[in-house]
Chain A
């Protein structure tokens, strides 16, 4: 299934660095997301969309993660030639990541 079925996301920008939050709709899916939405998985998923590294911060109290991605915005919001210079739509790209169904067998939670 796509990440979109278990979590939501918002992109933010500071200079050439993008941050993508990933927030579980239900706390019980946090561990599943922690296992499958790793920094490495996200880095591979975004491919050549971004040039830098992906660091994942964990926020178990909120059932959330924050992915910080360097060299993600074509030299920075103020310089980028991209149609979406802020990388606002990268949150939607993140949520396309394919992950296994959670083990609890529950229907996708919305």
Chain B
């Protein structure tokens, strides 16, 4: 039997997000689905590296904590969970979740892992070029650590069809985590472009969780948001035709308004009429947004067209090594001493022959964000923090950059304090487009009994 409407909650907008708002959604949100979107562009490449070091690793580090916090209430209330916390290892994530279910004594719990987004072998064998730079993928072959396709709703719907309590994916299109329950519940045809387009609007609006309920919105004097410390996460009430009302748990912090919904609708999109997804090219350009009550906003009018038949694949590769150092100066003349210190470090890096392909020399509080903007009439800041950052081709070379900031202690201008320095490997991401037919997703079931 298909439902006439369902309520979806968004329990996380990124991997490290707050956990209590998700608990609040399960316990007081009257929702049927709870979705956790936790996989940023590069995260899966880092997860793939972790899995290579440990075959049981490679999923979201907060999976255990999140599941422990919500799984009991979710199972008891029949709230189904959909998440991409599987990252580079959805099966291990399902097994870990099964362990949590057993430890909590939840009885029979079914977990479904969506696999098949890992297309590294296919991409390495093929003749692919990066969309961003046009470089041949095989030119980077020895440095590539991952290639994961953005899966659509197909395998997630298959997983929901197994009656699993929890569906755990690796790389999937973020909106698909929300679109799949809608397709599953309402029986939308996979060529109903209008429904799939509006369903993509639903997913796109909800996927960043608190970013539509007043998070990342407040600007004192212009945009007021109450209760940011206990922000409520969003609920999408979706009718069978896709019409959406965005709301949140009554009494939680934050706000849902036309303005918060507009900011999120346009977040991370390019041409609003062509939002490319695995299952549809969604069109947001005719969306209408209307406040219909306190913290209740109606969003309709999303539509779409047939997808391109190509899936975006994020390719992670070891790009370079970045070294960085910082030090602070205070009081009258702080900016002058900061500038002197920058010159000293610049000269030291040259004298000692540190090989960098790119570098930055910033004074935080003065020009670090947007360069030397027009600041006529502004008094000098009381304190500044110098930051030098450079790109090198080895960790050893990158570490020398921070070291040359640290030596300012005994060799640089007066009164420098609070040095920090680090060097890190940079795993960067570019994308290729792969024919959808080259990707074969599958579903693995894990059962927990206790």
A: which residues have CB within 8 A of B? 4, 8-10, 12-17, 19, 21, 23, 25, 47-49, 57, 59, 61-64, 66, 68, 76-79, 81-84, 89-90, 93, 96, 110
Contacts and interface: CB of A to CB of B under 8 A. Distances in A.
B266 A78 contact: no
A13 B168 CA distance: 25
Contacts of B42: 77-78
A14 B223 CA distance: 26
B431 interface: yes
B202 to A, nearest CB: 17
Contact of A10 (B41, B263, B289): B263
Interface string B389-401: 1110000000000
Given A79-B319, A81-B389, A61 B286 contact: yes
Contacts of B358: 81
B28 interface: no
Contact of B266 (A15, A17, A66, A77): A66
B288 A81 contact: no
A66 B269 contact: yes
Interface of B: 41-42, 132, 216-217, 219, 221-223, 259, 262-273, 284-289, 301, 319-320, 322, 358-360, 362, 364, 368-371, 373, 387, 389-391, 426-431
Contacts of A19: 266-270
Contacts of A12: 266-269
Nearest to A83: B368
Nearest to A16: B132
Contacts of A23: 259, 262-263, 266
Given A49-B371, A81-B322, A8 B431 contact: no
Contact of B262 (A21, A47, A93): A21
Contact of B259 (A25, A59, A78, A89): A25
A7 to B, nearest CB: 10
Contacts of B259: 8, 23, 25
Contacts of A17: 270
Nearest to B261: A62
Nearest to B319: A79
Contacts of B371: 47-49
Contacts, number: 114
Contacts of A83: 362, 364, 368-369, 387
A64 B262 contact: yes
B131 to A, nearest CB: 8
A16 to B, nearest CB: 6
Contacts of A48: 371
Given A61-B287, A89-B370, A21 B263 contact: yes
Nearest to A68: B270
Contacts of A61: 285-288, 301
B322 A62 contact: no
Contact of B289 (A9, A62, A93, A110): A62
A61 to B, nearest CB: 6
Contacts of B322: 81
A93 B372 CA distance: 12
Contacts of A66: 266, 269-270, 272
Contact of B132 (A4, A15, A47, A81): A15
A21 B266 contact: yes
Contacts of A62: 262, 265-266, 287, 289
B272 A76 contact: no
A47 B370 CA distance: 10
B429 A78 contact: yes
A21 to B, nearest CB: 4
A64 B271 CA distance: 13
B222 A8 contact: yes
Nearest to B45: A78
Given A66-B272, A79-B426, A81-B359, A59 B263 contact: no
A83 B369 CA distance: 7
